[in-house]
Amino acid sequence: MTKIKDKSIVSGEQITENCSLRKKLVGMDKGLSVYCSLDKDEEDIKIPFTISLFVTSEKARQLTQVYLDNLGRDECWEVLGNCIGQMSNMDYWQMRLSILQCDMENWGSTTLKEHGYDCTIMGFRPKTTTDLFRAIETNVKALASLLGQVQQMLKTAPPALYGYFYRHQRTQYCEAQAVNDFDDWLMHSGIITSDKLRSLQAKTIAEFVNSGILRCCIASSDIERSQVDIEAFKRMMPGKFHYEEWFDNAYTIFNRTIGWQGDIIIPNYNCAGLFIFQHWDELSQEQVYSIFYLDKMLELIREMMQRLPATECHPACGHPTPERDMNLENRIKKCISLLMAERYGDEPLFNIQGHWQAVYRILVDKGYCRDSDFDGFDTFIQRVMPDKVNKPYKKDSVKSISQTDFALPFERWHYDPQTSTTRKPYDRMVSIAIRFKQILEEKGL
């Protein structure tokens, strides 16, 4: 029998987003199943096995608390899946722990040292096997309670949480295939035009829709389908393209996750993230990667479209015409004017040049401007600048956002005393961003 002499088994590894809570929960569950299946001639490994179960239970408890804290900040790293329901029920765990409890309590009058184990485990030094079991039981009770709180928070989670989840998952995806495919298309397409890019965009979307990934969603209604011009979309496709029988329904569902700015698709990551989150256990890794592949391809097409000279849009596609784009800019100008009229106590809400960073952040998050494209934002804001503003706009005052926490999407802003010297300026910027976002949405933007 392997002995562990006065050794710290685990010193406590740092918890990061790379630590999977789901794997720990599944590992705990499977570990208890394996323990229950041990034969009489395997009793020598029961104590080290139980030590391992304590380590897993301790780490699972810690990770669940981190997961819960992140939900409180509208952040989420991973899907816990269907297991969360039963694992939040202490009756389930009591059943799983019964054989372990019986064994450890039967040996409870003998110290672990007498068994040959004198160890410190993650700062815990049990004297008997009963102590070891009680520590596991305490962790599991805390785990069940925390998972119950996770369930409740997910029921009322804001859409921004799923946008965070989507962006985090996409960072795990290798973009090389999409980049290579797009570069290959560029090499064989001759002179690049808006029409060619629109056709590639439509074909990329149609191939994704045809794959059937979206069939697990709630089917679209007749009213919802009537609001999507499917025939106009199909007119951009090659004549012999084969449409699967579910195409019209799935294309309608796809439109829940995007918006249009002229011919350019603006993804709604909140909706896309919710879809992946809700159907995680139904989707294969290949299918999830196909979503990120589509996203990257559309991003590359969008960037190329934005670099081309302005061309006439086709009203038949159901997308905004230049006249409607001008109306859009007038509406944004009106929203900025309304923001300038907002009050913060007895003074204007918007009162320093740096507050233009909040305007920039919300316009980028909503897809009206490109992230980190300060030249493009400068051109855009000059077109939508109202006649009267509380503080003049300066490009440099917005460009400096890259050195602050405000460079993150608004849903990920959080107060950090190490980077924000005092709380009031941060709260003021948040108030401006929230109000501007509300004004835009009140005006249908």
CA angle 341, 344, 345 (to 5 degrees): 120
Residue 391 has pLDDT above 80, yes or no: yes
Domain map (residue ranges) of the chain: 4-157, 167-317, 322-442
For residue 325, the model assigns a pLDDT of: 53
Q: Which residue did the predictor score with more confidence, 409 or 70?
A: 70
Share of the chain above pLDDT 70, in %: 89
Higher pLDDT, 316 or 176: 176
pLDDT over 60 (residue 312): no
The pLDDT value recorded for residue 151 is 92
Mean pLDDT of 333-360: 86
Does the pLDDT value for residue 150 go beyond 90? Answer: yes
Q: Over range 342-368, report the average pLDDT.
A: 84
More confident residue, 84 or 128: 128
Task: Please determine, for residue 297, whether its predicted confidence score (pLDDT) is greater than 70.
Answer: yes
What is the reported pLDDT for 426? 82
Q: What is the per-residue pLDDT for 354? A: 85
Is the pLDDT at 233 greater than 50? The verdict is yes
Range list of β-strands (E), 224-379: 258-261, 264-267, 343-344, 347-348
Q: What are the start-end ranges of the E strands in 41-192?
A: 117-120
pLDDT attached to residue 71: 92
Strands (E) located in 235-353: 258-261, 264-267, 343-344, 347-348
- Choice between 205 and 436, residue whose per-residue pLDDT is larger: 205
Which range has highest mean pLDDT (146-150, 257-261, 308-312, 405-409)?
146-150
Q: What is the pLDDT of residues 412-427, one digit of tens each?
A: 777 666 555 567 788 8
What pLDDT is stored for residue 314 in this prediction? 37
* CB burial string 398-413: b at 16+ within 10 A, e below: bbbbeeebbbebbbeb
In the DSSP assignment, the letter for residue 119 is E
| CB environment 6-29: b (16+ within 10 A), e (fewer) | eeebbeeeeeeeebebbebbbbbb
Mean of per-residue pLDDT scores for the chain: 83
The C-alpha torsion from 341 through 342 and 344 to 345, rounded to 10°, is: 80
pLDDT tens digits, residue range 134-144?
999 999 999 99
Q: Name the token pair of 434.
A: 């929230």
Q: What is the pLDDT of residue 5?
A: 38
Q: What pLDDT does 10 receive?
A: 38
Q: Tell me, what's the pLDDT at 4?
A: 39
- Helix-strand-coil percent breakdown of the chain, rounded to 5? 65, 5, 30
Q: What is the pLDDT of residue 421?
A: 59
> At CA 12, angle to CA 6 and CA 15, rounded to 5?
170
The pLDDT assigned to 12 comes to 39
pLDDT at 201 over 80: yes
pLDDT over 80 at 434, yes or no = yes
**pLDDT digit string (tens) for 218-229?**
888 888 888 888
Exposed, middle or buried: residue 231 (CB in 10 Å: 0-12, 13-18, 19+)? exposed
Measured distance CA(84)–CA(150) in Å, rounded:
9
Give the burial class of 56: count Cβ atoms within 10 A of its Cβ; 0-12 exposed, 13-18 middle, 19 or more buried: buried
CA distances for 137 relative to 75, 133, 162, angstroms: 29, 6, 33
The per-residue pLDDT for 206 is 95
Q: Which two tokens stand for residue 51?
A: 């030590």
Q: What is the mean pLDDT of residues 27-50?
A: 90
**CA atoms of 139 and 35, how far apart (whole Å):** 18
Q: Is the pLDDT of residue 286 over 70?
A: yes
Which amino acid belongs to residue 297? M
DSSP letter (8 states) at residue 255: G
Q: What percent of the chain has pLDDT over 90?
A: 36
| Whether pTM exceeds 0.75 | no
Q: What is the pLDDT of residues 178-200, one digit of tens each?
A: 999 999 999 888 888 888 898 99
The distance between the two most distant Cα atoms of the chain, rounded to a whole number of Å, is: 86
